[in-house]
Amino acid sequence: MATLPPISTLPSLDTEERAKVLDLLFEPCQQLHTLSVSSLREKTFSSYDEVIDAVGKQLFDLYESNLESDTRWLDAILSAHPRLGEKKVDSEQSRKEQAQLNQGGSEEAQLLADMNRKYEETFPGLRYVVFVNGRSRPVIMADMQKRIERADINQEKEDSIKAMCAIASDRAQKLGG
């Protein structure tokens, strides 16, 4: 199991090591590396929650920008999260977090795959991001359905950023941060 380095060492880590910290907290994503790796060197943080808050602010700055390039950048970061119930998940943390969602019959798995597709049709360029936090597949699917029916891309991006930060905070705690 991976662990986070002591927060006091963050500014002295090399670029690749700082990128790995972001990968552990969020998901592997080149756009997030470009956005945030240098800030982990330039600023001193007293906790990983402060790091997560700073990254969250950067994500909200992208969200609030009127530039199309910022919108595409944010969408790429939000889409770095794997689809719920997906069999091949690169991130060890995501595999563990989604473990209970991958239990159950093939009918439920197909329904989740269909909902992922419907979500991505409703919100082109995005993936459904939620802090699973031990909730069951039916509870998560009901939330996904509610968000699909709401069909509000702006609210969806806000909810996704908040979920990413909640997931990162939970990961930091579990990884010794």
> What is the domain range of residue 49?
9-172
| Residue 49 vs residues 41, 90, 109, 166: alpha-carbon distances, Å | 16, 24, 34, 10
pLDDT at 74: 95
For residue 60, tell me if it sits in a domain: yes
pTM of the model: 0.85
97 vs 30, residue with greater confidence: 30
Mean per-residue pLDDT, 25-32? 94
pLDDT at 57: 97
Average pLDDT, rounded, for the chain: 87
For residue 4, tell me if it sits in a domain: no
pLDDT at 146: 96
What is the CATH classification number for the domain harbouring 27?
A: 1.10.3330.10
Answer whether residue 87 shows pLDDT above 70: no
